[in-house]
Structure 1
Amino acid sequence: MMDFDRKLNMVTSSDKPIKSPRLSNKFSISIPTIVRLGEVSPATDSACSAYEHYLRLPDLKKLWDCKEFPDWKNESILRPALQALEITFRLVSTVLSDPRPYSNRREWKRKLESLAMNQVELIAMICEDEEEFSDTQGKPPTIGLFSSAGVLSREDSSTEVWKLSSNTTVVSRGSESSLLPRLATWRTAEDIAQNILYSIECEMRRCPYTLGLGEPNLSGKPNLDYDLICKPYNLQSLKKPPSDDFNHENQTVYTTHQILECWIRVSHEILHRVVDRIDSNEFERAANDCWMIERIWKVLEQIEDLHLLMDPNDFLRLKSQLTVKSDSSSSAAFCFRSRSLIDITKKSKNLRHKLPDILGVEVDPLGGPRIQEAAMNLYRKKTKKTEFEKIHLIQSMQAIESAMKRFYYAYKQVLVIMVGSLEAQGNQSFVSEDSLAHIFLEPTYFPSLDAAKTFLGDYWEQGRRNKNSVQIETESTHSFE
């Protein structure tokens, strides 16, 4: 993989400052050495273990790892996604039940509604993949609307009877355990719950089934067996942190990070599938997965932004009670206590190593421009469907890089606002020591693609200049005649 690192290895060898001949009598300007940044690493084991214990991650992982449908490949992806959505409903309930008069409920409702809708969009993207499932791949557990022949079961309190047409009666059974139908009956949360339900109806239109959370389901689609997959009862048993003797901010922080970890798990599973699909030359499907990962990074950023609404005094008091302090030995930010976050960061960066396989070339051990030339040819020709798919995949991989760096940059700003710039930077040099700064200041992961676009831009610029020159010469000739 020397071609990827060639630009990173171009380090200025001389330690002497380079002086400008015109300004040498006044001051000297030294060109900083290009630092090759190492791999991001998690915080100490004790800090990571404390973080996992606080969020009860071992119990959450048991729910994620539950395999009840071995032939259904999307189970490991859709289950944590649905659980993240369900925990968001719990956060809505927690925020709207907060007795503190200084809590900004209006902005909380807006942000949580937006977060829930973005999660529904992601879930719909995951479910769209089910349209192409085969008998060997397995089908998700769904509940048909016409299986009961219009008969309402006495035991099922969540069923609803309605007419799809003049001659067709539908018995729609929704979730009995989810919090969303309950929020829709609560006057304080009725508006946000109804908006989420309408969002489910709209986003699931391209899917072969719907979620069954009380959305209108005007198309009469089968309902996903939400309670069987999501297991809301089990999630409710994890709603309290190990120590719940703190202020009301504790429940908010705890629930917010559980949502974060659920989507990190989803990203982890999709990243594995991207690699498998690239190896199988399924470039179009791999591109769709990469766009999902890009959106997940944006959702992770949106989740972290919820900290901006937390009361500064209550948050800092909770932080002190939880003894959440910066690790002075490694100056690690709090986000680096999540081993899973570090893992998907590395996997997102390592997608660059699949670029030679996508372009169909081998990496030149001498650092030659093979990948760059192959990319230029791919951008210019585009004569086959597979070439379109490759371009879409490359674009989505670069979008992942951009979204991931934005996440860490935004996290840095949230950290500064919540705890102050002094502790956020840990009294360290911003560029040389801060791991967060290293991530979003890293050079591009795709230098060959950068070079290809640079040369391609020069090619078209030169063509434009030649065309203008020919046009001027022609007009001069006609004028002379």
Structure 2
Amino acid sequence: MATPKLSPISPVRRDDTKPCAPSAVLRVQDASAAEAYEQYLRLPELSALWKPGSFPEWASEGLVKPALQALEITFRFASLALSDPRCYASRRELARRLESLAAREAELVAALCDDRSAPPPLAELTASGGVLPRERSASSEVWQIPGSAAAVVCRASEASLLPRLAAWDKSEALASRVMYAIEAQMQGCAFTLGLGEPNLAGKPVLEYDRVVRPHELHALKPKPSPEPKSGYVNRENETLFTMYQILESWLCAASQLLTRLNERIEAKSWEAAASDCWILERVWKLLADVEDLHMLMDPDDFLRLIKSQLAIRAGSDASFCFRSRALLHVANATRDLKKRVPWVLGVEVDPNGGPRVQEAAMRLYHSRRRGEGEEAGKVELLQAFQAVEAAVRRFFFAYRQLVAAMMGTAEASGNRALFVPAEGMDPLAQMFLEPPYYPSLDAAKTFLADYWVQQMARASAPSRQS
């Protein structure tokens, strides 16, 4: 189908690689603050657990492993929240939020595990011949699949905290709901996680303890740091520490996901790339959910921790989150997806800044064969690009509001020196208000809206004349 001609009021935008106002690259200016952040969270030790290589035949190890470890750290967070002795702690609401967070993490883990090209290390249920091993009797069950004469042994992780939470009266209900969420989310996968979920389909079970290494993971707790004079131990220290370990683990997974996404775009696997892009959008939303947990911290204990023990001052080192090199890397890599638009559309950028990319986008959006042949998956991928952009903007805008709510508006506007270049505008506001990442796609949709308005006007004109 031929693309309609541009109307006089249709917008013409310059190509995506030549925006009107280039986006500033986010960088950490204070390297010592970033180093202190990494040492506080014990990131060098945690990142050693993320590294792939333990299972050479598992292609997605570097992507799935940090996501599973983030889920396991969430179980530790739930245990920490429910055992908080402070009478003013928001235990009930925090437990609800963590249950919801664990369910969403399980959903993302299932999406990441849906790639069946190279399965992870699995334990076959029938490998034991229906005999319950003596050394694993506490974490295994023998049962029979309906319609089959063979007995199977369903193994559960021995080191994960989730089965232990299920055995604790305070967390039994929470743990059981999380287990059922895992069971539901893993239905589309060829295996299940082995965290005590029912596994009604009798699927192979992930060697969870070998992959996640819960004992080593939970050993990375915050170092005891009582206040020098009073000896006061701030409970929010462990809360903040655990929260940001979850955040960093998902940022590691997001970085690996971006690598796979770019590889699939390069290989012109549009549908697979679109799937990865939608997962990336959900990861950004999950990161915002993790940050929102700040609101359930006690204000006095939180500010005492931030200002007294961690000594974070307004100005150059105010934004604790933006000391994260991983966050800034993932943010920059996500924004760089805009450079992939010409490749997806099959055109080269006009060196003179003409609307070549916009016209290609209009042809694709308006084509009758946009979901067929070589065009299959392209529209979905372009839609996912813009959905990720919206998620990134929401994350940074929400973080700015979060800082204001937790630490006051002076802190929210005092973090401009963290970034290079240092503009007069607050960098968070600058990022939120910067031009669209995909101006050509934006212009193409504006044109299509105008085109259909004109079509409707032409169709209604004869009826008015008659």
- Contact 1:141–1:225 (Cα < 8 Å) also in 2: yes
Cα distance between partner residues in 2 of 1:306 and 1:42:
24
Cα distance between partner residues in 1 of 2:375 and 2:423:
40
- Contact 2:15–2:358 (Cα < 8 Å) also in 1: no
Q: Which moved more, 1:239-248 or 1:299-308?
A: 239-248
- Kindly indicate whether residue 288 of structure 2 is the aligned counterpart of residue 308 of structure 1: no
- Number of the residue aligned with 2:20: 8
- Number of the residue aligned with 1:127: 113
- Number of the residue aligned with 2:145: 164
Rate the CA distance shift 1:243–1:402 in 2: closer, same or farther, 3 A: same
- Kindly indicate whether residue 441 of structure 2 is the aligned counterpart of residue 449 of structure 1: yes
State the 1:431 CA deviation. Answer: 8.8
Q: Which moved more, 1:461-470 or 1:302-311?
A: 461-470
Aligned length: 441
Residues 141-197 of structure 1 show CA distances to partners (whole Å, capped at 9, x for unaligned) of 001111111111101131111121262322111101000000000000011100000
- Kindly indicate whether residue 138 of structure 2 is the aligned counterpart of residue 150 of structure 1: no
Give the SS at the match of 1:220: coil
Superposed CA RMSD in Å reads: 2.0
- Kindly indicate whether residue 197 of structure 2 is the aligned counterpart of residue 215 of structure 1: yes
- Number of the residue aligned with 2:164: 182
Cα distance between partner residues in 2 of 1:433 and 1:242:
39
State the 1:97 CA deviation. Answer: 0.8
Q: What letter is aligned with 2:131?
A: V
- Number of the residue aligned with 1:12: none
Q: What letter is aligned with 2:265?
A: I
Cα distance between partner residues in 2 of 1:427 and 1:71:
45
Cα distance between partner residues in 1 of 2:311 and 2:104:
30
- Number of the residue aligned with 2:452: 460
Cα distance between partner residues in 2 of 1:244 and 1:89:
25
Rate the CA distance shift 1:241–1:440 in 2: closer, same or farther, 3 A: farther
- Contact 1:43–1:336 (Cα < 8 Å) also in 2: no
State the 1:338 CA deviation. Answer: 0.1
Percent sequence identity over aligned pairs: 48
State the 1:334 CA deviation. Answer: 2.1
- Number of the residue aligned with 1:45: 31
- Contact 1:331–1:434 (Cα < 8 Å) also in 2: no
Rate the CA distance shift 1:150–1:308 in 2: closer, same or farther, 3 A: same
Q: What letter is aligned with 1:288?
A: S
- Select which of 393, 396, 410 maps to 1:422: 410
- Select which of 259, 267, 272 maps to 1:272: 259
- Select which of 116, 120, 124 maps to 1:140: 120
- Number of the residue aligned with 1:434: 426
Residues 107-151 of structure 1 show CA distances to partners (whole Å, capped at 9, x for unaligned) of 011100010000000000011112xx1xxxx33100111111111
- Contact 2:416–2:427 (Cα < 8 Å) also in 1: no
Give the SS at the match of 2:307: helix
Give the SS at the match of 2:128: coil
- Kindly indicate whether residue 373 of structure 2 is the aligned counterpart of residue 393 of structure 1: no
State the 1:448 CA deviation. Answer: 0.4
- Contact 1:241–1:254 (Cα < 8 Å) also in 2: no
State the 1:2 CA deviation. Answer: 6.9
Q: What letter is aligned with 1:310?
A: M
Q: What letter is aligned with 2:170?
A: T
Give the SS at the match of 1:444: coil
Give the SS at the match of 2:154: strand
- Number of the residue aligned with 2:347: 361
State the 1:49 CA deviation. Answer: 0.1
List gaps (5 residues or longer) in structure 2: 1-12, 228-232
Q: What letter is aligned with 2:119?
A: K
State the 1:443 CA deviation. Answer: 1.3
- Contact 1:56–1:242 (Cα < 8 Å) also in 2: no
Cα distance between partner residues in 2 of 1:234 and 1:7:
47
Residues 15-45 of structure 1 show CA distances to partners (whole Å, capped at 9, x for unaligned) of xxxxxxxxxxxxxxxxxxxxx5522222410
- Number of the residue aligned with 2:275: 288
Give the SS at the match of 1:161: strand
- Number of the residue aligned with 2:92: 106
Cα distance between partner residues in 2 of 1:194 and 1:64:
27
Give the SS at the match of 2:153: strand
- Contact 1:326–1:334 (Cα < 8 Å) also in 2: no
Q: Which moved more, 1:296-305 or 1:375-384?
A: 375-384
- Contact 2:314–2:411 (Cα < 8 Å) also in 1: no
- Contact 1:43–1:327 (Cα < 8 Å) also in 2: no
Q: What letter is aligned with 1:243?
A: S
Cα distance between partner residues in 1 of 2:226 and 2:50:
24
State the 1:66 CA deviation. Answer: 4.1
TM-score scaled by structure 2?
A: 0.91
Rate the CA distance shift 1:211–1:339 in 2: closer, same or farther, 3 A: same
- Kindly indicate whether residue 324 of structure 2 is the aligned counterpart of residue 338 of structure 1: yes
Give the SS at the match of 1:275: helix
- Select which of 210, 215, 238 maps to 1:233: 215
